[in-house]
Amino acid sequence: MKALDELTFDNRFARLGDAFSTHVLPEPLDEPRLVVASNAAMALLDLDPAVAETPVFAELFSGHKLWAEAEPRAMIYSGHQFGGYTPQLGDGRGLLLGEVYNEAGEHWDLHLKGAGMTPYSRMGDGRAVLRSSIREFLASEALHALGIPSSRALCVIGSSTPVWREKQERGAMVLRLAPSHIRFGHFEYFYYTKKPEQQAELAEHVLNLHYPECREQPEPYLAMFREIVERNAEMIAKWQAYGFCHGVMNTDNMSILGITFDFGPFAFLDDFDAHFICNHSDHEGRYSFSNQVPIGQWNLSALAQALTPFISVDALKESLGLYLPLYQAHYLDLMRRRLGLTTAEDDDQQLVERLLKLMQNSGVDYTLFFRRLGDESAALAAARLRDDFVDMAGFDAWAEQYKERVARDADSSEEQRRERMHAVNPLYILRNYLAQNAITAAESGDYSEVRRLHEVLSRPFEEQAGMEQYAQRPPDWGKHLEISCSS
Ligand code: AMP
Ligand code: MG
């Protein structure tokens, strides 16, 4: 276990120099205070969890103090936003403080979001508000606990600094951790600004540090792109299987590592709705829940375009062609497991699709349905769940098909079935209304609810005593919360 001053830095991205990022010091927030910290994320840095309670912790992650070896930098990137190319983006309110490596030899970027203005702030104030910082913190750690690849969050530090959004709010910072903060948009920036040397330097950097195994392949860059395609297909399959809606799948928000990245107006589905749009400024539903699958491919094509200096167009196209089949395979595998199946049959896809279609018009809670399906035998669970469906006859027909399918699957006791299904079907999910309750309390200075919710969501598959209220359908007020896109 380390103390805060014992972190070891190795700032590899900063060493790429001024063509890639700009030195900027964080701008401190007033009266910093710890809102919440993640022990699991602390462990990634070998930090003793007790240090989160020390005043220096809040000072470090609110811009008041900096390690001598930190080199805060605002990264330069661009990207496609809602389908259109924006030539200059970059870290407008976040800074890469440096790269820390832990005792296991892993490197973690420390990125402080909400750290003040940078040359890339455009019209923004460089700040993040408490509300959005709490949402990013909770989502990062909750996704990770569900087994969905994601950036991580060490802590949220609150303050008394006023920040204007639709109304006056308070500034906060979230300390984000990821093995890299390089986005698709980094490659796009150097491609569209026609800087082939820097583009090559960036590609070398990513290949060497993040895809070293691709070096062994005959065409290392192609192998790397293929791996990025595969990781994205798997990540998005997990989003779809668990009902996660990202909301702003612009290419500047897509990580080169295939991890969920940059949380804005995201949401987990309550009732199943394939057409759900969580981002209220997404009028056309470009990033609706079901569109996430084709948009994943669209984004990979945008990256492919930026990689044309290194890889032939034919090879890029062939790799892009792997995305949908890989997505389908991962998705179906997870959905089979969510249904408690241990073998594969040709009709399984149709079984899943039929179920989702029935859910679509019924207002069935997506998370609780699967959890309850595993509570008892297929027959008993189906009998109990049918009341939730508007088309009960339709559901009965599906349940017959499902029971027959279960009967053909590996023989297992009810106990084994429950264990197997509960291990993949969460009881607790980050529902918007739960996050909202925690935020409302935090905005009045009470951080206990954020901490409790974080705690519950860190073990989503395990029933926790006294936490029944976190495993309920949303109350009426919480069903259609408008989550502000301003963050
Ligand atoms: P996002 O929608 O958070 O992914 O941000 C898109 C771009 O806008 C990024 O370049 C951000 O750094 C920048 N940005 C977002 N909010 C602010 C803000 N309050 N101040 C400065 N830049 C911002
Ligand atoms: Mg972003």
Q: Please check whether residue 407 lies inside any domain of the structure.
A: yes
> Is pLDDT at 124 greater than 80 in this prediction?
yes
When pLDDT is averaged across residues 240-266 and rounded to a whole number, the result is 98
Q: How far is the CA of 178 from the centre of ligand 1 (A)?
A: 18
Atom nearest to 125 CA in ligand 1: 20
pLDDT (tens digit, 9 = 90+) per residue, 33-70? 999 999 999 999 999 999 999 999 999 999 999 999 99
For the CA of 78, the nearest ligand: 1
Nearest-CA residue for ligand 1 atom 6 is 89
Q: How far is the CA of 202 from the centre of ligand 1 (A)?
A: 22
Q: Please check whether residue 174 lies inside any domain of the structure.
A: yes
Write down the pLDDT at residue 378: 95
> Is pLDDT at 469 greater than 80 in this prediction?
yes
Determine how β-strand 152-164 pairs with β-strand 168-178: antiparallel
Lining residues, ligand 1, CB within 6 Å: 89-93, 120-121, 124-127, 248, 253, 262, 264
CB atoms within 10 A of CB 428: 24
Nearest-CA residue for ligand 1 atom 18 is 124
Tokens of 229: 């395609």
Could you tell me what percent of the chain has a pLDDT over 70? 100
pLDDT (tens digit, 9 = 90+) per residue, 65-90? 999 999 999 999 999 999 999 999 99
Write down the pLDDT at residue 481: 84
3-state helix, strand, coil in the chain (%, to 5): 45, 15, 40
Tokens of 414: 């009810």
From 89, 111, 113, give the residue whose CB has the most ligand 1 atoms within 8 Å, as the site to mutate.
89
Atom nearest to 77 CA in ligand 1: 10
The CA distance from 443 to 211, in Å, is 42
Atom nearest to 253 CA in ligand 1: 4
Q: Please check whether residue 149 lies inside any domain of the structure.
A: yes
Nearest-CA residue for ligand 1 atom 2 is 264
- 402 is in which domain, residue-wise? 341-422
**Is residue 174 within 8 Å of 65, Cβ to Cβ?**
no
pTM to 2 decimals?
0.98
How sure is the predictor about 118, in pLDDT bands with cuts at 50, 70 and 90? very high
Write down the pLDDT at residue 363: 87
When pLDDT is averaged across residues 257-270 and rounded to a whole number, the result is 97
When pLDDT is averaged across residues 118-141 and rounded to a whole number, the result is 98
Write down the pLDDT at residue 410: 86
485 vs 213, residue with greater confidence: 213
For the CA of 93, the nearest ligand: 1
Active site residues: 252
Domain boundary among 155, 182, 209: 182
- How many alpha carbons fall within 13 Å on the CB side of residue 294? 7
> Is pLDDT at 486 greater than 90 in this prediction?
no
| Long-range own/partner contacts, residues 140-145 (CB < 8 A, 24 or more apart) | 140/176, 140/260, 140/263, 141/38, 141/40, 141/41, 141/454, 141/457, 141/458, 142/429, 142/430, 142/454, 142/457, 142/458, 142/460, 143/244, 143/260, 144/40, 145/457, 145/458, 145/459, 145/460
Q: How far is the CA of 120 from the centre of ligand 2 (A)?
A: 12
> Is pLDDT at 162 greater than 90 in this prediction?
yes
Q: How far is the CA of 143 from the centre of ligand 2 (A)?
A: 18
Tokens of 334: 């997870």
Q: Please check whether residue 457 lies inside any domain of the structure.
A: no
- Between helix 432-443 and helix 448-457 the angle, nearest 10°, is 150
For the CA of 181, the nearest ligand: 2
How sure is the predictor about 483, in pLDDT bands with cuts at 50, 70 and 90? confident
Atom nearest to 127 CA in ligand 1: 19
Domain boundary among 182, 206, 238: 182
Domain boundary among 122, 150, 182: 182
Q: How far is the CA of 426 from the centre of ligand 2 (A)?
A: 28
Q: Please check whether residue 10 lies inside any domain of the structure.
A: yes
Write down the pLDDT at residue 484: 78
How sure is the predictor about 482, in pLDDT bands with cuts at 50, 70 and 90? confident
How sure is the predictor about 269, in pLDDT bands with cuts at 50, 70 and 90? very high
Atom nearest to 91 CA in ligand 1: 12
Task: Give the count of domains, the chain.
Answer: 2
When pLDDT is averaged across residues 160-172 and rounded to a whole number, the result is 97
Q: Please check whether residue 258 lies inside any domain of the structure.
A: no
Nearest-CA residue for ligand 1 atom 8 is 92
Q: Please check whether residue 364 lies inside any domain of the structure.
A: yes
Write down the pLDDT at residue 52: 98
> Is pLDDT at 480 greater than 80 in this prediction?
no
pLDDT (tens digit, 9 = 90+) per residue, 410-451? 888 999 999 999 999 999 999 999 999 999 999 999 999 999
Q: Please check whether residue 428 lies inside any domain of the structure.
A: no
Q: How far is the CA of 124 from the centre of ligand 1 (A)?
A: 7
